[in-house]
Amino acid sequence: MAIDILLTLLTVVFSLMVVFSKKTVVAAFSLLMTLLVIAMIYFQLGTVFLSAVQVLVNAGAIAILFVFVMMLINLEQFQNNREKSKWKLVVSTLTMLVLLGVFALVINNNIEALSVVNLTDNSMKTLFAKLFDVYYLPFEMATVLLLAAIVASIVITSHDRTEKLEEK
Amino acid sequence: MLEAAIEILLKTVVILALPLGALPLIIHVERRGAAFMQKRLGPNRVGPFGLLQPLADVAKFMFKEEVHPSHVKPFFYTAAPVVALVVALLPLACIPVAGPIEAFGRTIYPEVFRSDMGIFYAFAVSALGSYGILLAGWASNNKYSMLGALRACAQMVSYELSLSTSVVAMIFLYGTNDIHLMVSAQTGYWFGVIPQWGFFYQPVAALLFLVGIFAESNRLPFDLAEGESEIVAGYHLEYSSMKFALFFMAEYIHMIALSALFIIMFFGGYSLLPGFDLIAGNNPTLIVLLQVASLTIKIALMIWFFVWVRWTLPRFRYDQLMNLGWERLLPLGIANLIVTVLFVYFRNR
Amino acid sequence: MSIYYYLSAFLFCLGLLGTIFKKDLISILLCLELMLAGVALLFILFSKATGFLDSQLLVIFMMIISACEVAIGLSLIIALYRKKQTIYTDDIKIITE
């Protein structure tokens, strides 16, 4: 119980830093810490393999991409990253609080049915038994989607190098 | 509950103390090995055969003046070497130093972190390895450091791919993630002489993994992050004395952790070396001690191999390196994976 | 452990607030990642509460898709930066120029 509260508090602190920090670079590293703490939460819930995949994919690849791109475009010049209009700030915060209240109410009403009992078998074999069986098509489509994403990012960011030589 | 906590604490202390204690010896081996390969003598003044030289190095690092440049970003500058060291130590948690020990009425597994995913944990946390270098290069606020850090990060991410294909092929071959099962699948001999190590089953995967671990630990021929003659000193340019020592330590510990993984998958892990099982007989204590000794000897030979390659091969150019990682090794890894899958399928029918 | 439900709702709403608040594209992408993390946590909680394992597979698919999305989003940001030298959403409102 204490571990749950500690992990929740850590996640709350880091995610608040992501949204409310003035410097974007601090936000990116806070996102990394949020993802790592969420991986610890997954471990605490019993899904050990998913916590490793979270570290590997989310924290070890996606967050690295963010930090890499921030260094490439030299984000230091873009530090002015928050909405200035007070009216918009107040309304959006109120909306978010209302939404959060609705979610909390729904969770509260059903909290007995939702209590985490760890009914599942935690081994990897039972988890992936359905991946190559029932969900084979989504799996293959995810592979094709990854390939499309790779090709797309290469095509979008490749610039014609011969143009610059001709200019000079 | 208390017993479990004490057990984990003891194991953590042992698994942390072993590489950190072996570090001075490795540094000394590197410097003497480098010297012998370059036809000179190396440090041999401090103590017999220069064995106290690392001690002198540590003393130098501790008493050297800490230079705090004013142009660095304060928090990340200090955090980077710590991050590098912590992330380098993490893969050691899942490496067992011996087989399961039967003592005090139950089975003790001599690894700090035992879980369902076994060896997969080590590869998950070694994906975080780029952060130390990235933070260091970026926080130094220096064009050369930034360049070195970006190149090193791109290199590490690229070679993780071919590493992963080779790891997946090996996990497929052994059919399990569990390190103890992997090692016990590699005991036994062919013709009584050649041990049934993973290296002989999958030489291609072994080669891919070997190249991958050289790239992951930023050792020559893949060390353009800290290329001495190219970009001054790369990502650890702005770091002096103790912080630099932390980076140094992080690199060697990363080397030890990755070579331990290589040995577990391809060279039998802690399984006894060819002559040892005759000595061991059936005495359980002796078997455990000889297993620890076998693992240590194998890791020591692997570290010597690292040093050997470092002072033999020249550094890769950046485009050659990317070419190798993406256009040669990755297709090779995927082809190896396909062949392994077919082989396992037909073997199990 | 049921506190994690509230945490998941909080992460989602906070990410939503961030995507509305922030003015540069990279911060918007960061907050989008936060929303995805909240939803993934919710799926795993549901899987643990009902014993239905397919939700965890869905989380793995979500990670794959989020990786693709971040990759393409970041390459679009780089292409935009090369053209316009800016990543603020205010500066790219005008289509023709």
What range does the domain containing C46 cover? 3-92
Summary mean pLDDT of chain C: 89
Higher pLDDT, B230 or C29: C29
Place of tokens 């291609």: B204
Per CB-CB distance under 8 Å, the chain A contacts of C11 are 11, 15
> What is chain B's Cα-based Rg?
21
CB-CB under 8 Å, A34 with C34: yes
Residues 6+ apart with CB under 8 A from A101: none
Kindly state the tokens that stand for B121.
Answer: 């944990």
Asked whether the predicted pLDDT for residue A63 surpasses 60, the reply is yes
Q: What is the pLDDT of residue C76?
A: 92
Residue A150 touches chain B, beta carbons under 8 Å: no
Q: What is the pLDDT of residues B261-317, one digit of tens each?
A: 999 999 988 888 887 777 777 778 888 888 899 999 999 999 999 999 988 988 888
Asked whether the predicted pLDDT for residue A38 surpasses 90, the reply is yes
CB-CB under 8 Å, C1 with A53: no
Count CA within 13 A, CB hemisphere, residue B139.
Answer: 23
How distant is the Cα of B117 from the closest Cα of chain A, in angstroms? 6
Per CB-CB distance under 8 Å, the chain C contacts of A28 are 26, 30
How far apart, in whole angstroms, are the C-alpha atoms of residue C35 and residue C33? 5
Q: What is the pLDDT of residue B232?
A: 63
Kindly state the tokens that stand for A157.
Answer: 């960011």
The 3 state secondary structure assigned to chain C is CCHHHHHHHHHHHHHHHHHHHCCEHHHHHHHHHHHHHHHHHHHHHHHHHHCCCHHHHHHHHHHHHHHHHHHHHHHHHHHHHHHHCCCEHHHHCCCCC
How distant is the Cα of A162 from the closest Cα of chain C, in angstroms? 16
Q: Is C26 domain-assigned?
A: yes
No. of helices (H) and no. of strands (E), chain B: 14, 4
List all chains that touch chain C, counting a touch as 3 or more CB pairs closer than 8 Å.
Answer: A
How far apart, in whole angstroms, are the C-alpha atoms of residue A126 and residue B83? 35
Residue A49 touches chain B, beta carbons under 8 Å: yes
- Find the CATH number of the domain harbouring C26: 1.10.287.3510
CB-CB under 8 Å, C63 with A15: no
How far apart, in whole angstroms, are the C-alpha atoms of residue A11 and residue A9? 5
Asked whether the predicted pLDDT for residue A55 surpasses 60, the reply is yes
Residues 6+ apart with CB under 8 A from B299: B256, B259, B260, B263
Q: What is the pLDDT of residue B238?
A: 73
Q: Is C47 domain-assigned?
A: yes
Per CB-CB distance under 8 Å, the chain A contacts of C72 are 149, 152-153, 156
DSSP assignment string, B254-312: HHHHHHHHHHHHHS-TTSPPTTHHHHHTT-HHHHHHHHHHHHHHHHHHHHHHHHHHHTT
**What is the total count of domains within chain B?**
1
Asked whether the predicted pLDDT for residue C88 surpasses 80, the reply is yes
Q: Which residue of A has its CA nearest to B127?
A: A60
Region of poorest pLDDT, from A41-45, B308-312, C90-94: C90-94
How distant is the Cα of C96 from the closest Cα of chain A, in angstroms? 20
Q: What is the pLDDT of residue C23?
A: 85
Establish whether chain A is in contact with chain C, requiring a minimum of 3 CB pairs below 8 angstroms. yes
Q: What is the pLDDT of residue B231?
A: 56
Share of chain A above pLDDT 90, in %: 45
The dihedrals phi and psi of B340, each to the nearest 5 degrees, come to: -65, -45
Identify which of A18-27, B106-115, B313-322, C69-78 has the greatest average pLDDT: C69-78
CB-CB under 8 Å, A150 with C4: no
CB-CB under 8 Å, B117 with A71: no
Q: What is the pLDDT of residues B106-143, one digit of tens each?
A: 788 888 888 888 888 999 999 898 888 888 888 887 77
Q: Which CATH class is domain A2-129?
A: mainly alpha
Q: Is C65 domain-assigned?
A: yes
What range does the domain containing B246 cover? 73-348
Count CA within 13 A, CB hemisphere, residue B228.
Answer: 4
Q: Is C72 domain-assigned?
A: yes
List all chains that touch chain A, counting a touch as 3 or more CB pairs closer than 8 Å.
Answer: B, C
Q: What ipTM goes with this model?
A: 0.92
Asked whether the predicted pLDDT for residue A165 surpasses 60, the reply is no
Instruction: Quote the longest CA-to-CA distance of chain B.
Output: 67
Query: Closest partner residue to C3 among A5, A28, A88, by Cβ?
Result: A5
- Angle (deg, nearest 10), helices B143-174 and A63-72: 160
Q: Is C97 domain-assigned?
A: no
Residues 6+ apart with CB under 8 A from A45: A116, A118, C1, C4, C44, C45, C48
How distant is the Cα of B42 from the closest Cα of chain A, in angstroms? 39
- Angle (deg, nearest 10), helices B74-89 and B241-266: 30
* Segments in chain B below pLDDT 70: 227-234
From the list B21, B22, B28, the residue with the least C-alpha distance to B44 is: B28
Residue A62 touches chain B, beta carbons under 8 Å: no
Q: Is C53 domain-assigned?
A: yes
pLDDT band at A120 (very low <50, low <70, confident <90, very high): low
Asked whether the predicted pLDDT for residue A6 surpasses 90, the reply is yes
Per CB-CB distance under 8 Å, the chain A contacts of B157 are 61, 64
pLDDT mean over A113-118? 72
Domain ranges of chain A: 2-129, 130-168
How far apart, in whole angstroms, are the C-alpha atoms of residue B113 and residue B3? 16
How distant is the Cα of C97 from the closest Cα of chain A, in angstroms? 21
For the CA atoms of B184, B185, B187, B189, the dihedral, rounded to the nearest 10 degrees, stands at: 170
CB-CB under 8 Å, C29 with A120: no
Q: Is B66 domain-assigned?
A: no
